[in-house]
Amino acid sequence: MEIRKLDLPAARQVYDAYMMKDFPDNERKPFSSIEQMTRAGHYRCLGFYEGEKLAAYAFLCDGEKGEFSLLDYFAVEASLRGQGYGQRAMALLREYCGDCSGLIVESEDPAYAGTQKDRDIRLRRISFYKKCGLRLTGAHGWIYGVDYSLLYAACGREAEDGEIAAALRGIYRGMVSAEAFSRYVRING
């Protein structure tokens, strides 16, 4: 498997063909926002390929100083799930992000699941990230009405929970307007 940086037309193809199915409407930002952040140099779209076939993708939002990155979106192509592609892609991603301190991941908090099925999905997702070497932090986020547990992968260095929470607040300040931040973003840690 190899990792490739996607230009905007390729990222748009991934968005239309995969992200529209992989992420619910309330978790998927408009492509125009992704495009704007990419042009500003704060966003990276990556594809993980087996030959010429897309196996997985990751969209990252970088902090102001590039010290931390938020894994904004990550998914394995549906027909390849459960076959180890996700763990391989995460290992490549951690290597790719080696120039930054670490990778921050938001995962829906199981404590706030509406159903047992939803809770099981959330627990499975956190378990996946932990198998990939991420640690569950004590930090928590409430973003646009969704409660998130925060996980962290040290790429360049380990970081304390408070530093991770502060870095994520900084990333969101760069992603959304000041008004949206004050209304829809709460990150504790």
The model's pLDDT over 118-139, given as tens digits with 9 standing for 90+, comes to 999 999 999 999 999 999 999 9
Question: Is residue 102 a contact partner of residue 156, using CB atoms and an 8 Å limit?
Answer: yes
Buried b (16+ CB within 10 A) or exposed e, 177-187: eeeebeeebeb
pLDDT at 2: 96
Q: Does domain 2-188 have CATH number 1.20.1600.10?
A: no
Tokens coding 150? 């925060």
Single-letter amino acid code for the residue at 112: Y
Tell me what percent of the chain is helix, strand and coil, each rounded to the nearest 5.
45, 30, 25
∠22-152-10 over CA atoms, to 5°? 35
pLDDT tens sequence across 73-101: 999 999 999 999 999 999 999 999 888 89
Helices (H), 27-66: 31-39
Task: Specify the 3-state DSSP secondary structure of 78.
Answer: helix
Tokens coding 148? 């998130």
Tokens coding 103? 């990778």
What single DSSP character describes residue 101? Answer: S
Which residues are 70's β-sheet partners?
Answer: 61, 104
The structural domains of the chain, with segments of one domain joined by +, span 2-188
Q: What is the pTM of this model?
A: 0.92
> From residue 152, how far is each of 9, 103, 104, 140, 160 by CA, in Å?
30, 6, 5, 12, 10
pLDDT tens sequence across 45-76: 999 999 999 999 999 999 877 789 999 999 99
Longest dimension (CA), the chain: 44
Question: Is residue 109 a contact partner of residue 140, using CB atoms and an 8 Å limit?
Answer: yes
